[in-house]
């Protein structure tokens, strides 16, 4: 009989895994709170159910006789999925793991317990800031008020010191939404208010700023083991926002550090009890060592796992996740190859699009281009990129080496920008 898979989310981020499931001959049921979800036409059946509607979700599982559950590139349904998996016995991780993974502060607590090197962070709300934020240097030097600050916890908790600059982020969101660098108390207050707009909680995570290049690690956790599939190098916007503008695989990381990262990913898997899942871990490397920023037991977005990993390794992580969900054999070796791939998101000057050269239609035919897409049209306004939601298109390339891919992305991004006139 045809197996039935329930895919949480029918948005653009889930398109690729929906198409992979279709290709595998599965009967796909999409569940989404939006009636006009982008990919509702790509699944065999679709049900509109609220993200917090447990009974409604159970009804869908029972209506279709679902055999497996999956999602891609989103944290939002993970707790609900874990609850459903617990009730019906689907391969997944625990509700506890889902809760740790969707609250960045609880995640850090697990890092502490699991000896995972990470950026230190504290919880802060508006009242805490007014009551507890004071400058240690103010007592000695009034001119250096913004050099450092102390957060005084309640009497039964230790005092922890963080130095400006710091990163403010919502505890329960992703895609760089609400994430901002702060260099002063005033910027901290303003950024906290912005971060809370992207959160359902009343506090934010204030985190030490870690210098150094940023990477993401694409992993797979199954049969009690943690396996790194690929290392991804990131390019981001300038601060105060830190939004991805591009990714290259494989990353330029020494073999020594790659082995250390493999060991860290294994520690993460144990600390957060990852099982029957992929993982997308973001970290930084500098002269002091390797520091994990955050992780999630899901496939990465930005075309990282849907497109770049297959192009650079020959391994399709979406297929492997579907195999895990269906209790089938996982195979991360057959067809494995060593190539390179990358994506570059359009980074245009602010203003209005006044012209687009028809030659832009030829971009998909350029050498080594795997795909190109943009929804820009004449008359559109270009605003600063502040999250992954307001980017304007991307080009994806494949090559034989990281150096070739980097050169192509650098060259093509300039050529594409010249085809779009912004005033």
**Co-location of 282 and 409 in the same domain:** yes
Question: What residues are paired with 208 via a beta bridge?
Answer: 166
* pTM tops 0.75: yes
Look at residue 34 and tell me whether its pLDDT is greater than 60.
yes
**For the packed helices 317-325 and 15-23, what is the interaxial angle rounded to 10 degrees?**
70
**Co-location of 349 and 397 in the same domain:** yes
Last residue of a domain, one of 90, 105, 131: 90
Which residue segment(s) compose the domain that 257 sits in?
Answer: 214-422
DSSP 8-state class, residue 187: H
**Co-location of 38 and 124 in the same domain:** no
Q: Is the Cα dihedral 138, 144, 145, 147 positive or negative?
A: negative
Instruction: Assess if residue 227 is contained within a domain.
Output: yes
**Tens digit of pLDDT for each residue in 183-195?**
998 899 899 999 9
What contacts 53, CB < 8 A, 6 or more positions away?
none
Query: What integer pLDDT is reported at residue 303 of this predicted model?
Result: 98
Look at residue 133 and tell me whether its pLDDT is greater than 60.
no
* Residue 301 CA from chain centroid, whole number: 6
**Tens digit of pLDDT for each residue in 223-239?**
999 999 999 999 999 88
**Tens digit of pLDDT for each residue in 114-123?**
999 999 999 8
Which CATH number fits the domain that encloses residue 51?
3.40.50.20
Calpha distance 85→68 (Å, rounded): 9
**Co-location of 204 and 282 in the same domain:** no
Query: What integer pLDDT is reported at residue 160 of this predicted model?
Result: 61
Strands (E), 259-388: 277-286, 289-296, 340-345, 351-356, 369-373, 381-382
Taking residues 407-420, what's their average pLDDT? 98
**Co-location of 204 and 261 in the same domain:** no
Grouping H, G, I as helix, E, B as strand and the rest as coil, residue 114 is: coil
**Co-location of 145 and 225 in the same domain:** no
Q: Across the beta sheet with 214-222, what order do the strands follow?
A: 289-296, 277-286, 214-222, 225-236, 244-249, 340-345, 394-399, 369-373
Instruction: Assess if residue 86 is contained within a domain.
Output: yes
Residue pointed to by tokens 């999409």: 30
Instruction: Assess if residue 321 is contained within a domain.
Output: yes
126 vs 2 pLDDT, higher one: 2
Calpha distance 206→151 (Å, rounded): 10
Instruction: Assess if residue 96 is contained within a domain.
Output: no
**Tens digit of pLDDT for each residue in 8-30?**
999 999 999 999 999 999 999 99
Instruction: Assess if residue 66 is contained within a domain.
Output: yes
Last residue of a domain, one of 208, 243, 271: 208
DSSP string, 201-243: SS-EEEEEPPPS-EEEEEEEEETTEEEEEEEEEEEEPPTT---
Number of domains in the chain: 3
Instruction: Assess if residue 178 is contained within a domain.
Output: yes
**Co-location of 143 and 249 in the same domain:** no
Instruction: Assess if residue 267 is contained within a domain.
Output: yes
Question: What residues are paired with 282 via a beta bridge?
Answer: 216, 294
DSSP 8-state class, residue 167: E
Last residue of a domain, one of 156, 191, 208: 208
């Amino acid at each position: 009989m045809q197996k039935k898979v329930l895919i949480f989310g029918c948005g653009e981020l889930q398109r690729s895994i929906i198409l992979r499931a279709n290709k595998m001959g599965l009967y796909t049921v999409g569940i989404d709170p939006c009636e006009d979800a982008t990919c509702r036409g790509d699944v065999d059946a679709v049900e509109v159910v609220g993200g917090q509607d447990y009974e409604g979700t159970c009804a869908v599982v029972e209506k279709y006789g679902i055999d497996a559950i999956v999602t891609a590139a989103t944290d939002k349904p993970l707790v609900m999925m874990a609850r459903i998996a617990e009730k019906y016995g689907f391969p997944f991780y625990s509700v506890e793991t889902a809760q740790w993974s969707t609250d960045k502060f609880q995640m850090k607590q697990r890092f502490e317990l699991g000896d995972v090197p990470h950026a230190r962070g504290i919880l802060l709300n508006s009242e805490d800031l007014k009551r507890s934020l004071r400058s240690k240097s103010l007592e000695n030097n009034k001119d250096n008020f913004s050099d450092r600050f102390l957060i005084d916890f309640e009497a039964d908790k230790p005092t922890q010191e963080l130095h400006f600059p710091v990163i403010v982020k919502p505890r329960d969101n992703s895609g760089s939404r609400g994430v901002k660098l702060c260099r002063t108390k005033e910027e901290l207050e303003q950024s906290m208010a912005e971060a809370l707009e992207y959160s359902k909680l009343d506090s934010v995570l204030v985190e030490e700023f870690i210098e150094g290049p940023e990477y993401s690690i694409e992993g797979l956790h199954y049969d009690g083991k943690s396996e790194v599939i690929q290392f991804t190098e990131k390019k981001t916007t300038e601060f105060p926002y830190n939004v991805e503008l591009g990714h290259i695989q494989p990353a330029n990381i020494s073999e020594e550090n790659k082995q250390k990262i493999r060991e860290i990913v294994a520690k993460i898997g144990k600390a957060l009890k990852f099982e029957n899942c992929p993982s997308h871990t973001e970290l930084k490397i500098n002269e002091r060592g390797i520091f994990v920023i955050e992780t999630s037991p899901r496939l990465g977005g930005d075309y990282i796992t849907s497109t770049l990993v297959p192009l650079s390794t020959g391994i399709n992580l979406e297929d492997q996740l579907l195999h895990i969900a269906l209790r089938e054999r996982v195979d991360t070796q057959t067809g494995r190859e060593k190539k390179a791939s990358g994506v570059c998101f359009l980074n245009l000057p602010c203003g209005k699009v006044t012209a687009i050269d028809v030659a832009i239609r030829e971009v998909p035919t350029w050498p080594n281009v795997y795909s190109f897409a943009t929804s820009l049209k004449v008359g559109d306004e270009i605003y600063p990129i502040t999250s992954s939601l307001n980017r304007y298109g991307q080009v994806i390339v494949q090559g034989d080496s990281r150096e070739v891919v980097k050169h192509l992305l650098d060259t093509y991004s300039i050529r594409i920008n010249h085809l779009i006139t912004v005033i």
